Structure 1
Amino acid sequence: MKFKRRQVEEIYINLTPMIDCILFILVILLLTTTFQQQSRLNLSLPDAQGVPPKEFDHKIEVMVDSSGHYAVNGQALSSKELPDLSTAIKQAANDRRDLMFVIAADSAATHQDVIRVMDVAGQLGFVNINISTKVPTRGY
């Protein structure tokens, strides 16, 4: 008796759906990814009569905006928490406590936010702490 042989079909994998899924995931990732941008704090410093500022080669400048957010040497911190502020100041200082420490606080910043910065600086051992102000413009 003669039996019919079954035809064996060639196996092939269709990659088109897989490529479509990968491209879709890539598009979703690109749309939801945020890129780190250097953010700047807008400060409105209080006016004060005083000595013109001196320029220092190395200093640590902590900025406090009106909503209480901090920035250390221009790098904005992600939270208002004291451990984050302390860590950022330690990294900027590189174990040097003799650097000029400048606090630039917005005129609308709360007293508590400025005191927090002073407290952290004191705990870390900084002794040369200055508060930055804006010299008013004089019309002649």
Structure 2
Amino acid sequence: MSRAREKYDSDEKVDINLSPMIDCIFILLIFFIVTTVFVEESGIEVNKPQAASTQALDKNSILIAISADDRVYYGGEEIGVSGVRPRIQRILTTEESGVIIQADSGTSHGAFARVYGEAKAAGAKNIHFATKQ
């Protein structure tokens, strides 16, 4: 036994290998980055109308914007009223989220009504209208 004890009591330096721990941390970091929900903006700046009351909504909502000249945008791309339904249907197949319509204060009521109807026809259950606070 004294020989075994002499072996461990010698002046040999013992190193701890940290590379497996660093690998685990990087894997966790990649997992959290991939599963994070990113907010996708509508792509244009709209002058929202004032409202008497406001309510904060979920961050992972679908944002549809209507400009003052009644053009419809999603993610910075003009999709038109006819592009609202397929875009929302495609998104709703992967995740359940609400729809927020950001209409400019100069938008006609008819354009808003058509976009709202397309969102409803796409199967959106929670459709909201964005206003100033």
2:106 aligned to 108, 119, 131, which one? 108
Larger Rg, first or second structure (1 or 2): 1
- Counterpart check, 1:89 vs 2:93: no
Q: 1:51 to 1:85 in 2, by over 3 A?
A: closer
CA distance in 1, matches of 2:78, 2:129: 20
Map 1:21-36 → 2, pairs under 5 A: none
Q: TM-score, normalised by structure 2?
A: 0.60
% identical aligned pairs: 21
CA distance in 2, matches of 1:119, 1:76: 20
Q: Which residue of 2 aligns with 1:62?
A: 64
Q: 1:128 to 1:97 in 2, by over 3 A?
A: farther
Q: Which residue of 2 aligns with 1:41?
A: 44
CA distance in 2, matches of 1:104, 1:130: 9
Contact 1:60–1:100 (Cα < 8 Å) also in 2:
yes
Q: Structure 2 stretches of 5 or more lacking a match?
A: 1-41
- Counterpart check, 1:51 vs 2:54: yes
Offset at 1:48?
A: 1.0
Higher helix residue share: 2
Contact 2:84–2:119 (Cα < 8 Å) also in 1:
no
- Counterpart check, 1:118 vs 2:120: no
Q: Which residue of 2 aligns with 1:77?
A: 78
Q: TM-score, normalised by structure 1?
A: 0.57
Q: Structure 1 stretches of 5 or more lacking a match?
A: 1-38, 136-140
Contact 1:65–1:106 (Cα < 8 Å) also in 2:
yes
**Residue type at the aligned position of 1:58:** N
Offset at 1:76?
A: 1.8
CA distance in 1, matches of 2:56, 2:105: 18
Q: 1:45 to 1:81 in 2, by over 3 A?
A: closer
CA distance in 2, matches of 1:47, 1:121: 23
Corresponding pairs, count: 92
Offset at 1:85?
A: 2.5
